[in-house]
Amino acid sequence: MSWTAGDVPDQRGRTIAITGANSGLGLETTRELARNGATVIMATRSTERGEEAARDVREDVPDADLRVEECDLANLESVRSVADRLADEPIDVLINNAGVMAIPRSETDDGFETQFGVNHLGHFALTGLLLETLTTDEGEPARVVTVSSGVHERGEIDFDDLQSADAYDKWAAYAQSKLANVLFAYELERRFLTAGMNAESMAVHPGYANTRLQFRGPERSGSRLRKTAMWVLNTVVAQSAAMGALPTLYAATAPEAEGGAYYGPGGLLNMRGAPERQASSNPSYDEETARRLWTVSEALTGVSYDLPEPKGDVSA
């Protein structure tokens, strides 16, 4: 596959909401969606940075149809608030993109370990609260695209210590949260299928893209050496953020993209290149783990989905 941003189909008449739209992959995804006519709801933790990003997009796409909404995934009250504001607005695609990576241990406003809380639980809650706006009875299916990472292959869901309170390793916590993303995407697809809903769920990963995400961990820990190492890797190894956004754009817009799939770059070590369908890690297909994580996530967030539990041989 040699799919590029130039292959994004006409998005006029479609409304797409994306978290973390103010920088990196989210900003580049927003730019291309707007370029192709979509109405883009930019859900960002800081409305000030969101508006700055919107101005950046409009420099390239003067007629971009953008709206900035405050959404702090580290605060479930904020997540509920944005969902309430969007309750009467049909959304064709939700892109769960925002995230934090390999940061020193901290907790969200609700007491969750930050990487698990933001990367997984915040998006789990947001998707559930927007469910009625996402599903349609006819026409093209609504889509939920959840951005994971190749690091999910190192992940393990530790149900005895989901919040990494007993022992914390920043990379292990990140890998757990990214595995949770894939498990969630597949379980959501299974529940859509069981319910017979006109909606699809899929997971993507960007490969190694040059964004600010890699610098947040070193900056929070005050490590100048790690910050320099990340700068070298981003300069020498990484592909651009625009290239890293392609799997997300493909999953969100390509007519041939399929629910229950996992898309990522098909080039060197799956770190760069055009998007293709790939296999995620073996643990990501464990349906028992996915259902248990779903149940725990509903309990932790207080958000329950009006979807049946998968039965029989339904699979993603």
Residues spanned by the domain of 25: 9-301
Within the chain, where are the H helices? 24-35, 47-60, 76-85, 114-115, 123-129, 131-134, 170-195, 213-221, 224-236, 241-244, 246-253, 287-301
Q: Read off the pLDDT of residues 29-57 as tens digits, 9 standing for 90 and up.
A: 999 999 999 999 999 999 999 999 999 99
Say if 309 falls within a structural domain: no
Report the alpha-carbon distance of residue 10 to residue 64 in Å, rounded: 14
* pTM, two decimal places: 0.92
Say if 89 falls within a structural domain: yes
Q: Read off the pLDDT of residues 190-238 as tens digits, 9 standing for 90 and up.
A: 999 999 999 999 999 999 988 766 445 555 666 565 545 454 455 545 6
> Active site residue: 174, 186, 263, 305, which one?
174
Say if 202 falls within a structural domain: yes
Say if 2 falls within a structural domain: no
Q: Are strands 275-278 and 262-265 parallel, antiparallel or unpaired?
A: antiparallel
What CATH number does the domain containing 89 carry? 3.40.50.720
One-letter amino acid for residue 207 of the chain: G
What pLDDT, on a 0 to 100 scale, did the predictor assign at position 236?
45
Say if 4 falls within a structural domain: no
Decide which of 286 and 230 is more confident. 286
Q: How many domains does the chain have?
A: 1
One-letter amino acid for residue 264 of the chain: G
User: Which positions ≥6 away from 128 have C-beta within 8 Å?
Assistant: 298, 301, 303, 304, 305
The verdict on whether 262 is a catalytic residue reads no
